[in-house]
Each structure stands twice: as C-alpha cells, then as structure tokens.
Amino acid sequence: MPIPASEDVIYGGTPIEVKYANVHPRLHFFESDLELLRPKLTREPWKTWLAEVRECAKTSLPHQAFLYALTREKPWLDSATLAINTFLDKPTVAFCTGYNLACAYDWLYSDLEVAVRERLQAYLNTHLRSEYEAFAKHELYQAGTVGWNISSEVLGNIGAAGFALYGEVPNVAPWIRFITEKARVVTQALGPDGVSAEGICYGGFFTDTYVKTIDLVNHLMGVDLFEDNAYLQNLPWFYLFTTLPRKRIANNSSVLCLGDGALWHWVGPASYLHKIAARYRNPMAQAIVRNHNDANASIKAASLYSLLWFDPSVPERMPPNLPLARHFTDKDIVALRSDWKGDESILLFKCGPHAGHKALKNYPQCIAGGHMAADAGTILLYAHGERLIGDGGYAKKVTAYRNTVLVNGIGQSGEFDATNQSDWFECSDLRREKRGPSLLRVDLGKTADYMIGDVAPAYKPEAQLTRFLRHVIYLRPDTCVIIDELTAAAPSTFELWFHADTQPHSKPEHPFLPVGAHAWETSAPKGRCRIASLAPTDVESEPGLQPIQGIGAHVDREMDVLRLRNPQPVSSAVFITVLDVLAPKQKRPLPEISRQGKGFTLKLFASGKRWTVRLQPGQKNPATSIFSVRASAARK
C-alpha cells in the first residue's frame, strides 16, 4: 500500500511530498520529459546517443531500464527483469550497484511483475537502508571524507534508493533529509577552482555521482545545489586546460593526468558537462564535449545522460580570446598553452596542498580520499603530439616518481615509505599541522609566464629543508626555465628528477641521451625535449631506468629518468635547468650562462628570438621576482 506523504513528512512542502510521492518515473526524469525527448530520437545528435545507449544496454541494467521507459520495446524490459532477478538470486555488488538498482526500480515501476518489484523493493529497503544508517552514524569511513569518489558513490547509491522508495515503504523521510543535508555538506566542502584533488579519472567518477545526486535533490526536494556552485562552474576550465590539443584527442589519449588515473576519462565527461552546459548556459562546456565526441573519446555509457541533459539551445562555442594560461587557485595548479590552434604545447606546474587550500584550512578529516600524489613542485610537458615529460602515473605514492626533488633521498610527507605501507597518500601529518606547499607568485604575461612555488612545506621534517623555492619561467611556445633555490639545515644532496613518457603497460623507449656538456635529450617520434643543466656547474647526472611500483592492475614497470644532483653535500644550492622543446630535426644552440656575484645571466634561443634572462636568487621576500627578461631578433 502506498504511504501517504502526511504519514512520512520530510519537511512538509517539498516537491516529492506535494507532487511526486506516488509518481514513477521520477529519478532524473518524468514521463513528460520522455514525451518531449521521443520526437528527437531520429535526429542528430540524439540518434547517435540512442545507438550508444542500445550498445551499452547489452550488458548494463540502467541502460536496459531506460531504453524500455523511453521506447517501450519489450525486449529491454525482459533483459532488465532477467538482470534484476539474477542479481537478487546472487547479489554481487560493484560500483554504483545501489544507484543502478534504484533507477531500474523507479524507471520500470509500473511494468515490472509485482513479485519482481517487491523483491527489488525489499532489497533496496534493507541493504540500502542499512548502508544509509551506517553512513548517517559515521560508522563508514566514507562518511567523513566528503570530496572523493567512493564517498560520493555511496551517497549516490543511498540517495537514489531513498528517493525511489519514498511513498512506497514507511519511514523514508529521515533518509531523504539526510541525503539532502549531506549533499549540501559535500557542496560546501568543494574547492572553488573546479579541480578535484583526485585528478581527472577519479575526479570524474566523483563529479558524475555528485551531479546525479544533486540533480535528484534539486528536482525532488527543491533544493538547488547547482546555484552558486563554483566547483561545477569552473570545472570546464580545468577540463579545457588539461585536455590534449584538439587535433590530438583520441579515445585512449585525451588528457594530461596529475596523480592517479589513466590518460583518458573513465567516466563521462559528456554526461555532467552537458548538465553544466545546460544549467549555466555554458557554450565552452558544450564545445569540450563536442571535441571529445568528434574524437570518439567520450565514454559511451554517458550517452544516457546526454539524452536527458543536452540542451541544443546552448551553442557549442569556445569563448573569444581564450587566455593562454590559467591559475587554479585552490589546488595551486597553473596550466599554460602555447596557443589554441589545435596542436599546441602544454606546460603544467603544480604546487598546492594535497587536497587544496580550502580543505587544508577548514577540515581536520581527509575529505579527499587517498588518490593524491607526493608531487609538489612537479611539472608535465606536452608538445609536438608527445607527452615529453611525464610521470609515474597510477602507482605507489613516491616522490621520486614525480618531476620534483629529493633531499638526501628523502621525499614529501604522505608518500609510500617504511612508515606508510598503504597504496594511498597519507595526509594525517599535513592535516594536523595545517602544512602544505603553495604558489607564492603567478604572473601570466605576454612576454613570459612566471611562477614561484614554495615547495618546502610538503617535505618530511627529516629532510630539514628550510627553503625550496621553484621558479618556473615559460617562454612560449617551446622553452621552460626552472630555477630551484634549495637550503637545508645541514649539508645535503639535492636531487632533481625528470621522467620521459612511458605509456602504462609498455616498455620505456625514450632514454635521456647526452647531447653536449650537461645536456641530455629524450626523443619521441614527433618531438624531443632537451634538458640543459646550467647550475651548479659541477652538476652530477644519472640518466637511466627507474622501477615504478604499481597498484593492483596498474603493474610494475620502468621509466626513463634523468637525475641531477650536486656531487658533494652542501647546505645551499641553486639549480638552473632549461627545457627546450624541439621538432624531430630542429636545431637550436644550447643555452649559455654567466655569473655576476650572486646573480646569473642566461643567453638562450626560443620562439625564433634570442633571450637574455637575468636572475637574482636569494631575495629576502620569497614571493619577490628574481628575473628580468629581454628578447631580440635571433641572428640568421
């Protein structure tokens, strides 16, 4: 028997109480929405998305249930019924199982055999209710970690189940109140720059389940968590700047990935980007999806939500006069492009707290899970269609797997070591001490881009670092100058790491080979990266192979690396390193350096010009610029 809203009061005036207590379907759409969608299905792009949903429905319960609700084709009801019964006979829980079952229950409610519906209802009301209760009591670890993928996945499971069951079983009102308020808490915790601390792949999983949850809360509770949501409004900017150049996007290579994950999206991004585009009238989000779709780089399962959320009245268009650089201020990541012509160079520099400034300041718990990396100060470099400077990818959280520095072999807090034998980043010391690296200066200019990262706070106390400033100068389109100011409490060996690209599950093929005094080069089929060490003048180098210890299916492998270090322990050192990007047969003179007291003058060639870069390290204020630059026409 239906449960009247008057006997299970949520707040007394919410849409689900007033209008939808006995209405199915109601999760993400109503029958009226399907009536508007059906006439579009013979036209593009809906026609293509429908075909992709049909393909996914061969093995996916929610796609089967949606197809039947949309098309009324009985074979899909039969397939969904078989899948439900098979699961209930022998439950095998995977990611989003509760969400998928709740959607099937709601979308097929009037057409499922009564016995099947009652079995499914009983499962949701017992297993998902008990999970909600454990979550609400903070008996699950995920309950306090509000900004990461598994926490969001659990919330999506129990949220969909609660909204599906309301009016069908008693005492669901507390369940829905909890979901609504928990979704609000998650929204409040998110960094405003649109960047997930978990990066692209796990961050996409989080965003997908998060958007689905707040969509339910919006339509069924009348609580709009999309409004003033800086995370969602800025997420397209992060995707724009971390996506490969338009002409280089492919189905297995579409993004630059910081931290755990692959080189392509695992989830979406079409589904939630279409929602963002529609909600915020954002043509750029729409255009990002188009670029991925054109390259067959979107996940086909997302097409179900593209059918629901795509708004054709929002044009697919990039903003005019796109900036060539953007600073994502909460995570302190700077992404820089040489241009937007479709085959550009990309430089990424990261020097922010493990979960962002907002989390570090306001949250004692680990709200972002453990998919961060010990990567403060790292860079990634993409050019000529090649990932020329990459990193260890999805692996143990080891500082030496990133393009940053070790001090006497000691890395950053949170990494995998003798104390932390976990596969995940351990941030308890950083959270307790409110300690983290940061960008002190970001000057994004027409002549040169300049950043100063304060990296020292990321390191373990035993490193005894008192100063580690990494200055990064980007001379568009093909030169990066890195100046590292390093000081320790005792004489130390400072070691810089640079990784050539190696695709997961492949052998290293891009060794660093000497090309002159204190210069090495890694080559890929379409491009090269030359690394010249200008200071200290007696730098010791070690090109070679580095073992990378993987996690689970992400197997152990080797990478080509270049290590640069001072040959004798010193208390203080300045490393000056120039990275030049070159086409396969392109020639360019090596940079030169001279010293005047504590200052340096660099002479180098970049973008067809001769550059003079003057450096004055050791400024009292660490945020003070140490460089000036002048360009002149190169001699022929």
d(CA 552, CA 94): 17
User: Residue 178: inside a domain, yes or no?
Assistant: yes
**CATH number of the CATH domain containing 482:** 2.70.98.70
Q: Contact, 380 vs 389, CB < 8 A?
A: yes
Q: Can you give the pLDDT at residue 505?
A: 61
Q: Contact, 495 vs 627, CB < 8 A?
A: no
> How far is CA 617 from each of CA 395, 470, 496, 569, rounded to the nearest angstrom?
35, 11, 18, 20
Q: Can you give the pLDDT at residue 268?
A: 87
User: Residue 238: inside a domain, yes or no?
Assistant: no
Q: Give the mean pLDDT of 51-76.
A: 98
Last residue of a domain, one of 197, 225, 253: 225
Check whether 636 has a pLDDT greater than 60: no
Residues 6+ apart with CB under 8 A from 136: 143, 178
Q: Give the mean pLDDT of 217-236.
A: 98
For the ranges 35-44, 54-63, 604-613, the lowest mean pLDDT is seen at 604-613
Q: Quote the percentage of the chain above a pLDDT of 90.
A: 87
Q: Contact, 210 vs 199, CB < 8 A?
A: no
d(CA 568, CA 189): 46
Name the β-bridge partners of 135: none
Last residue of a domain, one of 564, 584, 604: 584
Are 32 and 154 in the same domain?
Answer: yes
Last residue of a domain, one of 225, 243, 275: 225
Q: Mind listing the pLDDT tens digit for each residue in 121-174?
A: 999 999 999 999 999 999 998 888 888 999 999 999 999 999 999 999 999 999
Q: Can you give the pLDDT at residue 323?
A: 95
d(CA 346, CA 324): 10
Residue carrying structure tokens 């979704």: 183
Are 337 and 464 in the same domain?
Answer: yes
Extract the tokens encoding 193.
């720059």
User: Residue 239: inside a domain, yes or no?
Assistant: no
Name the β-bridge partners of 610: 605, 632
Residues in the chain: 636
Domain that holds residue 13: 9-225
**CATH number of the CATH domain containing 192:** 1.50.10.100
Q: Can you give the pLDDT at residue 446?
A: 75
Are 333 and 212 in the same domain?
Answer: no
C-alpha torsion 244→250→251→254, nearest 10: -10
d(CA 421, CA 429): 15
Check whether 553 has a pLDDT greater than 90: no
Q: Can you give the pLDDT at residue 57?
A: 98
Q: Mind listing the pLDDT tens digit for each residue in 466-513?
A: 999 999 999 989 999 999 999 999 999 999 999 998 676 667 889 999
How many domains does the chain contain in total? 2
User: Residue 311: inside a domain, yes or no?
Assistant: no
Check whether 558 has a pLDDT greater than 60: yes
Q: Give the mean pLDDT of 276-300.
A: 95
Mean of per-residue pLDDT scores for the chain = 95
Q: Mind listing the pLDDT tens digit for each residue in 232-260?
A: 999 999 999 999 999 999 988 999 988 78
Q: Give the mean pLDDT of 594-602.
A: 94
Are 201 and 341 in the same domain?
Answer: no
Are 49 and 186 in the same domain?
Answer: yes
Q: Can you give the pLDDT at residue 104?
A: 98
d(CA 276, CA 283): 10
Phi-psi label, residue 426: left if phi above 0, alpha if psi -120 to 50, beta otherwise: beta
Are 346 and 218 in the same domain?
Answer: no
Are 441 and 580 in the same domain?
Answer: yes
Q: Mind listing the pLDDT tens digit for each residue in 185-194?
A: 999 999 999 9
User: Residue 126: inside a domain, yes or no?
Assistant: yes
> How far is CA 596 from each of CA 441, 484, 615, rounded to the nearest angstrom?
25, 18, 10
User: Residue 235: inside a domain, yes or no?
Assistant: no
163 alpha carbon, distance to own chain's centre:
29
Instruction: Print the SS3 string covering 59-72.
Output: CCHHHHHHHHHHHC
User: Residue 398: inside a domain, yes or no?
Assistant: yes
Q: Contact, 403 vs 514, CB < 8 A?
A: no
HSE-CB for 64 with a 13 A CA cutoff = 20
Q: How confident is the model at residue 632 (pLDDT cuts 50, 70, 90)?
A: confident
d(CA 345, CA 342): 9
User: Residue 253: inside a domain, yes or no?
Assistant: no
Extract the tokens encoding 311.
């708004």
Are 217 and 349 in the same domain?
Answer: no
d(CA 332, CA 193): 9
Question: What is the DSSP code string of 604-616?
Answer: EEETTEEEEEEE-
Check whether 16 has a pLDDT greater than 90: yes
Q: Can you give the pLDDT at residue 634?
A: 64
Q: Mind listing the pLDDT tens digit for each residue in 337-392?
A: 999 999 999 999 999 999 999 999 999 999 888 899 999 999 999 999 999 999 99
Residues 6+ apart with CB under 8 A from 355: 147, 197, 363, 366, 367, 368, 372, 427
d(CA 151, CA 157): 10
